[in-house]
Structure 1
Amino acid sequence: MSDKILTRARSWIVNSGLAEGDRLPPERSLCTQLGMTRSELRKSLLLLEAEGLLSRHVGRGTYLAKLPKTAGNAGIETAISALSQTTGPVDSMSARQALEPELAALAALHATPAQLRELRRLCQAMPVASSWARYEQLDSRFHETIAEASGNTLLQAMHRIVNGVRLVVVWRQLDTPDSGPESHYHSFDEHQAILAGIERRKPDEARQAMYAHLNSTLQTMLARR
């Protein structure tokens, strides 16, 4: 799926007149309005759902959860759009390995009680995600919360770019089933290990757990190629 298609979907949402909570038109109508195939549309909707812009309810349709960010975030979104055109999955993971272990270490030092509660909630929610899009949304939020808990706004902005590129790159290539991850999916225990290091206020433990998690994800990705 090209980034132009995803940009087209975002632009349509901004200019559609829909408000948060409104239901999107049926797939057939959206395909016509956006000039997309059904496959392209579904991948776009999955990615936008993973980003938290849409929410889908079985039997009820797709709803606008929040409007795409504009103005103040234009620079970051421009960077994501440009970098996602030249970045592959392996480079995306390498960037995460360079950044996220240190974010986890900082989170172990600075996470607030509210941020720890949110991380626990996400760790409980991910294993019961009803779809891969829902899992990706929760997983993305887990890593975003760790970045926020670092207390470093510059690193948070860097993470938003890296994570945004990751979402585009991963969903461009994956053709995932509608059901969520299997019960033994490796990331579940790895997320718990990261959380444990942060909760115990052990920077080295959190750093090592995050690196191990990202390396495991990279190896799984390489095995599928």
Structure 2
Amino acid sequence: MTDDALRPMTRPRLYEQVLERLRAYADEHELVAGDRLPPERELAQRLGVSRASVKQAVVVLEVQGLVETRHGGGTYLVRDTLDAEPVDRLVERRRRLPDVLEAREALETKLAELAAERRTESDLAEMRTALRGMESDIAAGGHGVEGDRHFHAAVTAAGHSTLLAEFMGSIAEAVAESRNESLRQPGRPTRSLDQHVRILEAIEAGSPKAAATAMRRHVRTVAKVRLLEWDPGEENEGS
């Protein structure tokens, strides 16, 4: 019988401690979106750590869409907080994301193909409504998350395949994670909206091959996220 209380202890990565200090700093100084963090070199000196540790902490904040680093111009808050998701949860999402995206490409490409063959006028109206909602949200400064969800749900419904729809439902939570991850990439909401329009046009035209191609291109764009470029391993303290 394993004694859970005596399981091996894990040592917090140094950059996780830096993350907590940065969050506290932002709170104490009441930083909001648009405010700039001190330069990495200054942060490293004040915290007594390497610049590598600071850089890794900043990357984690970037991955979560909390800050953006401008080339030659510093690091700025994107939101009014630096409350980051726990690193362990981030690591787990990074681990499963490739499988989710692989499943999405397989299922949604086929569903788009079927939608082009089987869609009804009601199905098309639902897709158009979804895109109008996504466009309005983006224009108001949002990421278009609900409109994106609505559009993909409408394409799934238009495929009129009970079993494929059930498969999509079984991974709905994971798909939502991949959607949120993608839409917080800089410039991604507008690009996704444009790709949705191409998918709809192919479905409207009754072209299964074009619809499948457009959906495959879209899902592969969704797969290009900062999270998958991030290495959550230990930072090199020698730099």
What TM-score, normalized by structure 2, do the two folds share? 0.50
AA in 2 matched with 1:90: P
> Kindly tell me: are residues 221 and 102 of structure 1, through their superposed partners in 2, closer, same or farther at Cα, counting changes over 3 Å?
farther
More helix by share: 1
Match for residue 126 of structure 1?
134
Q: Deviations over 1:150-169 (max 9, x none)?
A: 11111101011223222146
Determine which of 187, 190, 193 is the counterpart of 1:185: 190
1:99 equivalent to 2:104? Answer no
Distance apart, 1:182 and its partner CA: 5.1
> Kindly tell me: are residues 184 and 153 of structure 1, through their superposed partners in 2, closer, same or farther at Cα, counting changes over 3 Å?
closer
Match for residue 172 of structure 2?
163
Matches within 5 A, 1:125-144: 125-129=133-137, 130=140, 132=142, 135-144=144-153
Say whether the 8 Å CA contact 1:108–1:198 is kept in structure 2.
yes
Distance 2:160 2:123 in 1: 11
Distance 1:98 1:189 in 2: 21
Match for residue 29 of structure 1?
none
Say whether the 8 Å CA contact 1:88–1:169 is kept in structure 2.
no
Determine which of 175, 178, 201 is the counterpart of 2:206: 201
Q: Which has the larger radius of gyration?
A: 2
Distance apart, 1:215 and its partner CA: 0.7
Q: Among the aligned pairs, what percent are the same residue?
A: 27
Distance apart, 1:184 and its partner CA: 7.1
Distance apart, 1:87 and its partner CA: 6.2
Distance 1:111 1:147 in 2: 10
Q: Deviations over 1:74-126 (max 9, x none)?
A: xxxxxxxxxx9896222211110111010000000111101101111212221
Match for residue 61 of structure 1?
none
AA in 2 matched with 1:122: A
Say whether the 8 Å CA contact 1:87–1:169 is kept in structure 2.
no
Say whether the 8 Å CA contact 2:179–2:222 is kept in structure 1.
no
> Kindly tell me: are residues 154 and 175 of structure 1, through their superposed partners in 2, closer, same or farther at Cα, counting changes over 3 Å?
closer
Q: Deviations over 1:152-191 (max 9, x none)?
A: 11110101122322214665x78959xxx85972111100
1:88 equivalent to 2:93? Answer no
Match for residue 216 of structure 2?
211
Say whether the 8 Å CA contact 2:145–2:179 is kept in structure 1.
no
Structure 1, unaligned runs of 5 or more = 1-83
> Kindly tell me: are residues 221 and 200 of structure 1, through their superposed partners in 2, closer, same or farther at Cα, counting changes over 3 Å?
farther
Distance 1:184 1:86 in 2: 21
Structure 2, unaligned runs of 5 or more = 1-91, 231-239
> Kindly tell me: are residues 90 and 149 of structure 1, through their superposed partners in 2, closer, same or farther at Cα, counting changes over 3 Å?
same
Say whether the 8 Å CA contact 1:89–1:170 is kept in structure 2.
no
Distance apart, 1:140 and its partner CA: 1.0
Determine which of 150, 155, 158 is the counterpart of 1:146: 155
**RMSD across aligned positions (CA):** 3.2
SS of 2:168 mapped into structure 1 = helix
Distance apart, 1:198 and its partner CA: 0.4
What TM-score, normalized by structure 1, do the two folds share? 0.53
Distance 2:211 2:170 in 1: 22
Aligned length: 138
